[in-house]
A and B are shown apart, each in its own frame.
Chain A
Amino acid sequence: MRNSSNADFEKAVADFQYDVASAQRHRDGLDRENWARTEARARFRDWGAARAAGAAIRDADLLHLERRLADFAARFESAGGRLHWAPSAGDAREALVRIAKEAGVRSCVRGLSSTLEEIGADEALGTSGVAVRHSQFGDMVNHLRGGRPSHMLHPAMHLSREEVGETLHAKMGSPTTSNPEEQVALVRKSLRESFLQADMGLAGASFLLAEEGKVALVEHEGNLRLIASMPRVFVVVAGIEKVTESVSDLPLLLQLVGASAGGTALPSGVSLIGPDTPRACGETAVMHLILVDNGRSLLLADTASAEALRCVKCGACADICPVYRMAGGRAYGSVLPGPIGAVLTRHLMPARGAQALPLATPLCGACGDVCPVGIDLHRALVSQRREMPPASRGWKVNAMLRLHERMMSSQARYNRGTRIVRILAVLADLTRKTSFNPLSDWMRHRTLPETPKKTFRGWWKSTAGATSSAARKDKA
């Protein structure tokens, strides 16, 4: 009996594929983006060198994390910012609720951020009586439906235009339309007042600039700029790994993100906001930053997986992944699906999301190949597998591993094992359709190879028994 979350994942994949139109839309969306990314990467002088430079910048940030955070804190606070350090998700929630209470916040408008999901921002604010509106298009639609996201940047990509139209009509009372342009216009109109009237703006951050004490907000839609500039309270929630040295690192990082997130030269909107950013709309504005650890420092200690913290959340790894292609994002059960999610979810959000994620990959390595900051996701995924309890592999794999180790430990055992395997292969073929056969699942999709008369060893031995080529030529 297979570990249930492995079986769950396979079932989720089968269910996703069953809706043929949806699966095709998914593939089309991925292909469009990946094609744009290939074009964007080709415009670089030397993509390999650019991503190596990106890797070096982010690596240095992680190596000097304590210093970077201290610098950031000093600048941010001396500019009048209010900094909150949250060792756990619970601490972050507490800080968020306290900020809202102290400022008398009743309404909040927020951006798309996996960190906000990670800490449970919506629930915490909801319980405090704060009305929260999501403003990023896909995130908002998903939130209205109450469904899980299917991509870190495009949470509602699994929905058809008809489904989006129905949702907007049912939840926002807008006229029903399945035209994507009209839908965006409706959401824009609906959110406009929220931006102008909300007490609090809430967002994640793409980067924290240590030298300048500012936050970099990267977007396409323009909602983050409004969230940062309109409400009288602006709160940013950011993981500690987001800190980077200074604005002079941004040009390259932004070019890498632009190419890898949307296949563009740069994301269409980047704002650098600090506590002393001039605000001219009359009210005194205050800026808070909640710095979240919640397992990131632990990940820092794992040599093989620490580089996952370089992540700039571009989504390229998910989009290239053959498993993600087949499974769709919601099968992963995490707000961070795909390869980087498989590494990070277990550390940051262990209660949510399939624990089996690091096993659900043939380790083709395509993810690491496209990562703009050179994360060796292959190595990180294998390393995560080491951390998982043996039971999660399923009894069949564990049995195979025991037998395998024994068989490979000496030539004698190997030869004996070879003979046994050949007998088992015959039996397996005879019993392929029965439930006695533990490999019946595996065999449903494949024919078994034919058993050769001699092994390579056997052949080598019989053509000379020696290792000399000349001797073999004589015999041949």
Chain B
Amino acid sequence: MRIALHIPCLVDQWMPEIGVSMLRVLERLGHQVSYNPEQTCCGLPPMDAGDRRSAIATAQRQLGVYGDADAIVSASASCAAMMRKEYPVLFAGTPSESAAMALSNRTHEFTHFLVGILGVTDVGARYEDTVIVQDGCKSRRCGCVAGESRQLLARVRGLKVVEAREEGCCGFGGPFSLTYPALSGAMGEARADILLHSGANTFVTNDPGCLMQLRGIMGRHAKPLRGVHIAEVLASV
């Protein structure tokens, strides 16, 4: 299977280790992985903000970037949801409709790709820590409906996974955090509080947006939790 990486702008610029980790995991599993630096952005920020024209203009560029890869694997649940669920609607009735459908059908969020497409839960990882899962809310909109993160983490040697008393949103929401910074911050605080009381040292997420938001919020706490992307845990041996 020829795999092309989708590296969200946030990962490329601020958290490249996530991309490196994804690559390591996929190669360890014996796959050919490519990356085309022509990719820029999936168009989610303008889409969420309600600027449809700008979203289409940005997303348009994505359509030709992945060549004939069999699968496009994304480091972000939010971006994967955009490409899988929104592209068909965004491009419906336009000349790019079939290209958009083709792209959307081949796009997978990272954990869903491993568990749902490759059928793999044990990637040979080792990571000594006590962690808690904080998956992006958009996971449900990109096919992650079977607890893929937890299935993968359960097979990581040396890892203990604890659960929060309830699920919840980190409050990032992209443009939302700029339009309502205090509300977004307050929601992040509320979520951080639950994670801090879970008994974990580290929170693990499949979404770079959540990672950035919660790391930022934790940074203001005396005894913060570390935050990592699930790819980093799975890459560790």
Question: A interface vs B, CB < 8 Å?
Answer: 2, 6, 9-10, 13-14, 17, 304, 322-323, 326-327, 358-366, 369, 378-379, 382, 384-388, 390, 393-394, 396-397, 400-401, 404-405, 407-411, 414, 418, 421-422, 441-442, 444-449, 451-452, 454-461, 467, 469
Contact indicator B181/A382 (Cβ below 8 Å): no
Contact indicator B169/A414 (Cβ below 8 Å): no
Contact indicator B40/A408 (Cβ below 8 Å): yes
Q: Which of A2, A411, A442 contacts B177 (CB 8 A)?
A: A442
Query: Which residues of the partner chain A approach B187 to less than 8 Å between Cβ atoms?
Result: 322-323, 326, 362
Contact indicator A364/B173 (Cβ below 8 Å): yes
Chain A: minimal CB distance from B236 (Å): 16
In the bound complex, CA of A404 to CA of B45 (Å): 9
In the bound complex, CA of A464 to CA of B190 (Å): 44
Q: A322-B187, A393-B49, A441-B182 are in contact. List 15 more A-B contacts (CB 8 A).
A: A6-B179, A9-B183, A326-B183, A360-B176, A362-B173, A386-B50, A404-B58, A405-B58, A408-B58, A409-B57, A409-B58, A411-B38, A445-B216, A452-B17, A467-B36
Query: Which residues of the partner chain B approach A369 to less than 8 Å between Cβ atoms?
Result: 140
Closest to A450 in B: B14
Question: Which parts of B22-62 form the interface with A (CB within 8 Å)?
Answer: 27, 32-38, 40-41, 45-52, 54, 57-58, 61
Contact indicator B180/A9 (Cβ below 8 Å): yes
Closest to A418 in B: B13
Chain A: minimal CB distance from B65 (Å): 10
In the bound complex, CA of A173 to CA of B30 (Å): 79
Question: Which parts of B48-98 form the interface with A (CB within 8 Å)?
Answer: 48-52, 54, 57-58, 61, 89
Chain B: minimal CB distance from A91 (Å): 32
Closest to A389 in B: B50
Given contacts A409-B61, A444-B185, contact A401 B179 (CB under 8 A): no
Contact indicator A396/B58 (Cβ below 8 Å): no
Q: Which of B27, B140, B220 contacts A445 (CB 8 A)?
A: B220
Q: Is B143 an interface residue (CB 8 A)?
A: no
Closest to A407 in B: B40
Q: Is B215 an interface residue (CB 8 A)?
A: yes
A-B contacts, 30 of them at CB < 8 A, read A2-B179, A6-B180, A9-B183, A322-B171, A326-B187, A362-B171, A362-B172, A362-B174, A365-B138, A365-B141, A378-B141, A379-B89, A382-B47, A385-B50, A388-B50, A400-B178, A401-B49, A401-B54, A404-B58, A408-B58, A441-B182, A442-B181, A445-B216, A447-B215, A449-B212, A452-B16, A455-B13, A459-B16, A459-B19, A467-B36
Q: Is B20 an interface residue (CB 8 A)?
A: yes
Q: Is B206 an interface residue (CB 8 A)?
A: no
In the bound complex, CA of A261 to CA of B168 (Å): 21
Given contacts A405-B58, A409-B57, A414-B40, contact A445 B188 (CB under 8 A): yes
Chain A: minimal CB distance from B211 (Å): 9
Contact indicator B175/A441 (Cβ below 8 Å): no
Query: Which residues of the partner chain A approach B188 to less than 8 Å between Cβ atoms?
Result: 445-446
Chain A: minimal CB distance from B166 (Å): 9
Contact indicator A444/B137 (Cβ below 8 Å): no
Contact indicator B169/A366 (Cβ below 8 Å): yes
Contact indicator B178/A396 (Cβ below 8 Å): yes
Query: Which residues of the partner chain A approach B177 to less than 8 Å between Cβ atoms?
Result: 362, 442
Closest to B215 in A: A449
Query: Which residues of the partner chain B approach A6 to less than 8 Å between Cβ atoms?
Result: 179-180
Closest to B20 in A: A459
In the bound complex, CA of A410 to CA of B47 (Å): 19
Contact indicator B173/A445 (Cβ below 8 Å): no
Q: Is B102 an interface residue (CB 8 A)?
A: no
How would residues 187 to 227 of chain B score, 1 for a CB under 8 Å from any chain A CB and 0 otherwise? 11110000000000000000000001101110110000000
Given contacts A405-B58, A452-B14, contact A386 B172 (CB under 8 A): no
Q: Is B100 an interface residue (CB 8 A)?
A: no
Q: Which of B20, B41, B172 contacts A408 (CB 8 A)?
A: B41
Q: Which of the segments B4-12, B103-111, B119-127, B153-161 contacts the partner chain?
A: B4-12
Chain A: minimal CB distance from B117 (Å): 19
Query: Which residues of the partner chain B approach A387 to less than 8 Å between Cβ atoms?
Result: 50
Contact indicator B181/A441 (Cβ below 8 Å): yes
Closest to A6 in B: B179
Closest to B7 in A: A456
Chain B: minimal CB distance from A290 (Å): 34
Contact indicator B178/A10 (Cβ below 8 Å): no
Chain B: minimal CB distance from A37 (Å): 14
Q: Which of A326, A409, A446, A461 contacts B37 (CB 8 A)?
A: A461
Given contacts A409-B40, A456-B12, contact A364 B169 (CB under 8 A): yes
Query: Which residues of the partner chain B approach A446 to less than 8 Å between Cβ atoms?
Result: 185, 188, 213, 216-217, 219-220
In the bound complex, CA of A304 to CA of B89 (Å): 9
Chain A: minimal CB distance from B3 (Å): 10
Closest to A473 in B: B27
Contact indicator A10/B180 (Cβ below 8 Å): yes
In the bound complex, CA of A446 to CA of B221 (Å): 10
Query: Which residues of the partner chain A approach B41 to less than 8 Å between Cβ atoms?
Result: 404, 408
Query: Which residues of the partner chain A approach B175 to less than 8 Å between Cβ atoms?
Result: 393, 397, 400
Q: Is B149 an interface residue (CB 8 A)?
A: no
Contact indicator A460/B40 (Cβ below 8 Å): no
Query: Which residues of the partner chain B approach A449 to less than 8 Å between Cβ atoms?
Result: 14-15, 212, 215-216
Q: Which of A362, A397, A418, A469 contacts B49 (CB 8 A)?
A: A397
Contact indicator B217/A442 (Cβ below 8 Å): no
Q: Is B134 an interface residue (CB 8 A)?
A: no
Q: Is B186 an interface residue (CB 8 A)?
A: yes
Contact indicator A393/B50 (Cβ below 8 Å): yes
Contact indicator A445/B176 (Cβ below 8 Å): no
Chain B: minimal CB distance from A151 (Å): 19
In the bound complex, CA of A9 to CA of B14 (Å): 31
In the bound complex, CA of A469 to CA of B34 (Å): 8
Q: Which of B11, B179, B182 contacts A14 (CB 8 A)?
A: B182
In the bound complex, CA of A27 to CA of B169 (Å): 15
